[in-house]
Amino acid sequence: MMKNNDTHNLAYLNSFRYHLQVEKGLSKNSIDSYLSDLKDMLGYVDRQIESITDKQVIDYFISLQQLGLENSSIARKRSSLKALVKFLEEEEIELSLDFSQIPTIKYSQKLPDVLSVREMLKLLNSIDLTTALGARNKAMLELMYASGLRISEIIELTMHDLIWEEKLVRVMGKGSKQRLVPVAEESLHYIRKYYDYDRSLLLKEQQCAYIFLNRFGGKLSRMGIWKVLDKQVKLAGLKKHVSPHTMRHSFATHLLEAGANLRVVQLLLGHSSINTTQIYTNIDTRFIIKEHKLYHPRG
């Protein structure tokens, strides 16, 4: 069901669409790009256009940056908003937003490295599956990319955290906040293979509840994951600096650039702050799973 804010804002967006098409003569693709950027921002802020504040827009751009979106993409979204604000001001619509207070996006600003989809698949497809350690590495890196887990969350996963029937993983994030995250179908295949067969070879008849084990059958360490990833990046011939957090940033970036809902991506990542906590309360799990499957490259 469409909310009142959505109905209200849609009227302005339809007028803006007409303006871009008839008065500016823009192509359909350009118009669709403008409107997609604006709908994403409006969905995040969830306010009527006239009442949106500078701080809410800045918080939105900061959220995109924290999720690893390229500065060029954020700058495009800022440009779309600027065009809308200019149009509304020309239409003498009174706004709370003073666009001059929105900082420009610096293209030179250093963001964490993000792998392209092609680079990510090259990395994942280069792993040797003929050994138990290789199968573990494949399952672990596939899960990191499929679900955007932090390195600390990967380490602490236990046998009871995988919900096979629903294709979900239960994650205990920062502040002991639990969340359920979908696992992409193809990635789940490699996790199941490792879990059902190769993990027992590493376990060597020991008792250990953690999923990802070291060569001695104990819990894998942070340094162990760093070493695995560093070695695999070199074997794949990638020239970028890739850390465990790069996997997480790439997960978020690929979803966002494919058109996934920003709120859902934040929830999948387990982000929580004063500005974002409230937006999570009414999101249906089935919708999250649908968004993940629709927009993730492994979906």
Catalytic residues: 150, 174, 245, 248, 271, 280
> Residue 125 and residue 271: Cα distance in Å, rounded?
29
> Residue 244 and residue 212: Cα distance in Å, rounded?
15
Q: Taking a C-beta distance cutoff of 8 angstroms, is the pair 80, 34 a contact?
A: yes
Tokens representing residue 155 in the block: 């380490």
> Residue 18 and residue 284: Cα distance in Å, rounded?
34
Nearest alpha-carbon partner for 56 in 245, 274, 292, 289: 274
Q: Is 172 helix (H, G, I), strand (E, B) or coil?
A: strand
Identity of residue 25? G
Q: Kindly report the three-state secondary structure assignment for every residue of 141-171.
A: HHHHHHHCCCHHHHHHCEHHHEEHHHCEEEE
Q: Taking a C-beta distance cutoff of 8 angstroms, is the pair 154, 139 a contact?
A: no
> Residue 57 and residue 37: Cα distance in Å, rounded?
12
Alpha-carbon dihedral 216, 220, 226, 228, rounded to 10 degrees = 50
Distances (CA, A) of 282 to 13, 64, 259: 25, 21, 20
